[in-house]
A and B are shown apart, each in its own frame.
Chain A
Amino acid sequence: MKALVVYPNRELLYAASTLGGEVAALVFSEREAEAVKGVAHRALVAEVDPRLPDAVAEAVVKAAQSYQVVLLPSTKNGKTVGGLVAQRLGAEFLTDVLSLRVEGGVLKAERYVFGNKAVAAVEAAPPVVVTVAPGRFQGQPPAVQTAVEKVALQVGSKMKIVSVEEKARGAVKLEEAEIIVSVGRGFKKKEDLQMAFELARVLGGQVGCSRPIAADLKWLPEEHWVGLSGKKVKPKLYLAIGISGQPQHIAGILDSRIIAAINNDPSAPIFQNADYGVVEDLYKIVPILINKLSKTKG
């Protein structure tokens, strides 16, 4: 199937290449066109502000006529553009797909549903709009010749961006972390999180958190937030400390290799979703873990 990739990145281009047809990348500047040279058959340059979903959607609808699939990243603007485009094209919109293949002229995909308690196998006839769950399509798009073309367009946006504020950000890249020490409401005060940071340091990992820690208490910036509405992570080890293990949290950690949990409540649901659980007060056990691990690690 011929695919149009919007906001292209390597993963999307690879996913598109597996569909077996021509791959075009819709980009918003010459510089971005340069970046897809050699990995897409066509680079379509539309001169619109990529931050404006309605303007981007306009460009996509214009470019999409000769493509059966539109692929977007699973970002907030990606989904907004996807929704607009899908309705205008009369297309289905499959979000956060885990897999993707073409069979008998139909696109088949899987995605998590029902608070990540089930997997849906969905089939849709083209045209189809798709966003891809990050980290699911690992591979290199094949090397191809790229033709660069302009998409002629006269679009205004109904939305005006008045200002942009950066969110507080550290060097956290939870999606890439091998070890995550994650904290929940079991921690009584913000200062106590230091323990988790210390444990993460001796383990060579990063610190994650449940939603209330970032959203309600604001003890940590949102980049630490793991779950359905937060980051999806896939570390070797996910150590959940003082986290109850509600489905919305579990939704973010399904792909972890090993899940370990510390919770003083033996009936906490996290134990049903963990490989190793310790029933203990975190205030007692975390200092001991730090101590023991820092000794052996030197």
Chain B
Amino acid sequence: MKVAVLVKTALDTGQLRVRDTVATEETPLKISDIDRNAIEEAVKQKGQDKAYAVTVLKWGPLQKKAQEAENVLREALAMGLDEAYLVADERLLNASHMATAKALAAVVKKVGADIVLAGEATVDNYTGQMPARVAAELGWPVVTYVRELKVEGGRLIARRDLEDHVEVVEVQLPAVVSVTREINQPRIPTLLAIRAAMKKPVNRLTLADLGVEVAPRIAAAYKPLVIQRKKVVIKDGTPEEKAEKLIQYLRQEGVI
């Protein structure tokens, strides 16, 4: 089964560089965590066929980040994917989700796949809209929030993890599937796999290569979220005294 995995080269929010504004250009990239589960599932499902990673570079500056994104994709390759496609184009930086979906779908069409896997949401933006958008673009069914996946005879059977219940659903391939973190335990690549990944192809594409037109329709400005907490820490005394102090503070606040 030929598998495409949407791997977001996301901002590493754990290392977010913040001054008066958020310095996205200085914040390093990493694989969006939940996409690791999608990669793992792809490696499990692909059988004799190939599985490849597709990413659209969303964060600039283009030259620097494109190099970084390549390194991130090497990690996905080390986990067992066979080839990577990186769409790096000035017009896609900070671009609309619609344009990103068009570019992702164009790569999938170009290379061909029976199934597209993705994480349920990305760690930097956490909007969770891309799998459905790519499915709409391809005209394929979409199955979101999957925590268990089985493919047999061209049919895909999945357990969807919804708020209050789990739904078992069935669709015909090809299909787009988004997975949750519960679906598997992503592997940690061995040194050997990391070396082998250095030799696997990472293909760079532009919008022109894909024949995709985009028009920006969105603007975003980021500012750090400043959390104002009192940060009173009770360190000294016996557990008894500490408990007493905590109760006192909470009473003063009128919350207990």
Contacts and interface: CB of A to CB of B under 8 A. Distances in A.
Contacts of B232: 275-277
Contact of A54 (B141, B233, B255): B141
B144 A80 contact: yes
Contacts of A281: 239
Interface stretch (A62-70, A117-125, A143-151): A117-125
A273 B144 CA distance: 33
B157 A162 contact: yes
A284 interface: yes
B38 interface: no
A286 B224 CA distance: 35
Contact of A114 (B22, B128, B221): B22
Given A54-B141, A87-B137, A117-B13, A274 B229 contact: yes
Contacts of A289: 243, 246-247
B145 A237 contact: no
B133 A83 contact: yes
A160 interface: yes
Interface in A89-116: 90-96, 112-116
Interface residues of B, number: 78
Contacts, number: 241
Contacts of A123: 218-220
B22 to A, nearest CB: 5
A80 B130 CA distance: 9
B112 to A, nearest CB: 20
Contacts of A272: 229, 231
A123 B170 CA distance: 38
Nearest to B223: A119
Interface string B101-140: 1000000000000000000010111111111111111001
B164 interface: yes
Interface in A32-58: 51, 53-54, 57
B220 A277 contact: no
Contact of B220 (A54, A117, A122, A276): A122
A288 B30 CA distance: 44
A221 B217 CA distance: 41
A95 B128 contact: yes
Given A87-B133, A93-B127, A288 B235 contact: no
Which residue, of A116, A203, A280, has the highest number of chain B Cβ atoms within 10 A?
Answer: A280
B98 interface: yes
Contact of A77 (B127, B136, B162, B170): B162
20 contacts: A53-B132, A79-B127, A79-B132, A87-B137, A93-B97, A117-B18, A118-B224, A159-B171, A160-B169, A161-B169, A162-B169, A164-B168, A165-B167, A179-B255, A257-B253, A275-B253, A276-B232, A276-B246, A284-B239, A288-B240
Q: Which are the 9 A-B pairs with shortest beta-carbon distances?
A: A83-B132, A158-B141, A115-B13, A87-B136, A83-B129, A237-B255, A275-B230, A87-B133, A284-B239
